[in-house]
Structure 1
Amino acid sequence: MKILTKSYLETINFGTQLAHYLQAGDLILLDGDLGAGKTTLTQGVARGLGIKRPVKSPTFTLIREYQQGKYPLYHMDMYRLENSSAEELGLQEYFNGDGIVIIEWSQFIKDQLPDHYLRIQIVRLDDQKRQLQLQANGQHYQELLTKFD
């Protein structure tokens, strides 16, 4: 499924709408070039979960945790792991936990990912427009995508 957002605000709003359909244990993979809008989309999800704290890119911390929403949000950035391992991060605890996990640059930990997730490839078309390509892996995520038809 492909969705076009025409502004920063529309990307935020899509994330907010997506959050309304998420449940504990959900895994969202966000892939796209630098500046594509991965953190912007995550900010929308956080807003939809009722998180008031500013959401920043976790590039240097690898994982940022936001506990005060409808569900905890675990925002991860695996970019710095391109040439190293994520084994010591305890990712399975997050995947099997009570929150929503959003991972940027998931290709760097593909051997550690569960079988079921929603992947969103973000393609920057120009300064404002983004094409979101949603791919559901697993029945739960296929059902989630029907909410956007």
Structure 2
Amino acid sequence: MKLILNSLSDTEAFAQKMADRLKGKTMTITLDGDLGAGKTAWTRFFGKALGVKRTINSPTFTIMKSYRTQDGSMLYHMDAYRLEDGNQDLGFEECFEEGLCVVEWSNYIAQQIPADHIAISIRETGETSREVIMEATGKNAQAVLEGWE
């Protein structure tokens, strides 16, 4: 499924809609795109929509940050950019099983990503415009995206 986002407010609305569909669920979302495509900005809006009070910023150097959402569940934000050798066991499986996980640069840990997830690719098309491709890779992810317009 392809979406065109023409502004930062479109990106925020997209993140809000995804948060509304995922509240109270366990799901992994992979975010891929070039540097500056808006992966962390999307995650910041997504967390805000889930009621995260802390500032969400890139976990590039810490690999992962965790946040408590308004309903008490966990949001994990991972940046696998520095994990070129994705064979390391860093305990991500537990995070994938107990909350919402957003993984930037997921290609570096592709073998660890749950088979059933939502894959989002963001491509910069202008200063504030983006092309987004979303794909459901399993039945739970398909249920989340069903009827998306």
TM-score (norm 1): 0.92
For residues 48-59 of structure 1, the aligned pairs below 5 Å read 48-59=49-60
Q: Which residue of 2 aligns with 1:143?
A: 143
Q: Which residue of 1 aligns with 2:126?
A: 126
C-alpha displacement at 1:86, in angstroms?
A: 5.5
2:65 corresponds to 1:37: no
Q: Which residue of 1 aligns with 2:68?
A: 67
- 1:34-88 CA distance string (max 9 Å, x none): 0000011111210111112111011111001101433211000000112x24533
**What amino acid maps onto 2:111 in structure 1?**
D
Partner SS for 2:110: helix
How far, CA to CA, are the matches of 1:12 and 1:44 in structure 2? 5
- 1:1-55 CA distance string (max 9 Å, x none): 0111111221122111110111432100000000000011111210111112111
C-alpha RMSD of matched pairs (Å): 1.3
Partner SS for 2:95: helix
Q: Aligned pair count?
A: 147
Structure 2 gaps of 5+ residues are: none
How far, CA to CA, are the matches of 2:147 and 2:14 in structure 1? 12
Structure 1 gaps of 5+ residues are: none
C-alpha displacement at 1:100, in angstroms?
A: 0.4
Q: Which residue of 1 aligns with 2:78?
A: 76
TM-score (norm 2): 0.92
CA contact (8 A) 2:86 2:110 kept: no
CA contact (8 A) 2:12 2:45 kept: yes
Percent of pairs with identical residues: 38
Q: Which stretches of structure 1, 4 residues or longer, exceed 2 Å deviation after superposition?
A: 68-71, 84-88
Q: Which residue of 2 aligns with 1:28?
A: 29
